[in-house]
Amino acid sequence: MSTVTTEAPTRAPRPRGGVAQSFGDSLVVAKRNLIRMTRIPEMILFGVIQPVMFVVLFTYVFGGSMAIGGTLDPDVYRDFLMAGIFAQTVTFATAGSAAGIADDMQKGIIDRFRSLPMARGAVLTGRTVADLAQTSVTLLVLAIVALLVGWRTGSAEPTNAGKVLAGFALLLLLGYAFTWIGALIGLSVRTPEAATSGGIIWLFPVTFISNAFVDSDQMTPWLRHIAEWNPFSATVQACRELFGNPGVSTSDAWPMQHPVWASIIWSVLIIVFFRTLAVRKYRSAAS
């Protein structure tokens, strides 16, 4: 005599909306990348050492030879310099983003993500969010080092804690925008080595043809115009104003007259443009 067994019906998972699924999947991928970073502490260590070296070298080697506001005072140049070093640090995280995504591509990890029922853009968003968290730690350490070597807010104009925090927020926004450029580079090359080179080589003209390390008013006219409309320069100038540091520009260029708004607009445009290209590249590679 046979018996008939019945199984209790299982309830199908409730489908999530597109935005909710993308947000949740992005957090999962971000957590995976953050755990990976903590297991490779030298990644964070080397990321901190480089900007610290820039602070020390520029402060003590070039401090007495750079004229800012008509003076060669090294203290003035140090306060002028720090916004540029902060901005350079967050943008150089682009190389790490590019190399990390290229490494995942080479090892087949991206292919595993593609086989899962997850939002396509979540893989890239999670990676950029994790890189932003690492950049925040680096920026915090760098700010402490800057204070140790004598950098002070409000050295030229009065400021307050809210403005200082707003300046660091603009730096992180710029850094997040540039990580999307790194994501696109990482998806476009074949090896992590190529991604590292491709992610950093273009940053040198972007950061040095700017107002980060020298007063752009002293440049030749054609180079000065490039520097004034450089998105990197807008963030540097905005931070100097918010930090109350020397370096007020006499330029009539709109980004130099309204650097905070220019910084926000540039960063948002970079995020929208390069995120669209990176997600499209990811989808085309997955098909």
Q: Among 47-56, 224-233, 258-267, where is mean pLDDT lowest?
A: 47-56
Burial 249-270 (b: 16+ CB within 10 A, else e): bebebebbeebbebbbebbeeb
Q: What is the mean pLDDT of the chain?
A: 84
181, 191, 8: which is closest to 97 by C-alpha?
181
Query: What is Dmax (Cα atoms) for the chain?
Result: 103
Residues 213-229: pLDDT tens digits?
888 888 899 999 999 99
Name the pLDDT band for 286 (thresholds 50, 70, 90).
Answer: low
Written as one string, the DSSP assignment of 142-205 is HHHHHHHTT--TTSSS---HHHHHHHHHHHHHHHHHHHHHHHHHHHHSSSHHHHHHHHHTTHHH
What's the CA gap between 65 and 53, in Å, rounded? 18
Range with lowest mean pLDDT among 73-77, 157-161, 183-187: 73-77
Task: Read off the pTM.
Answer: 0.87
pLDDT, position 143: 92
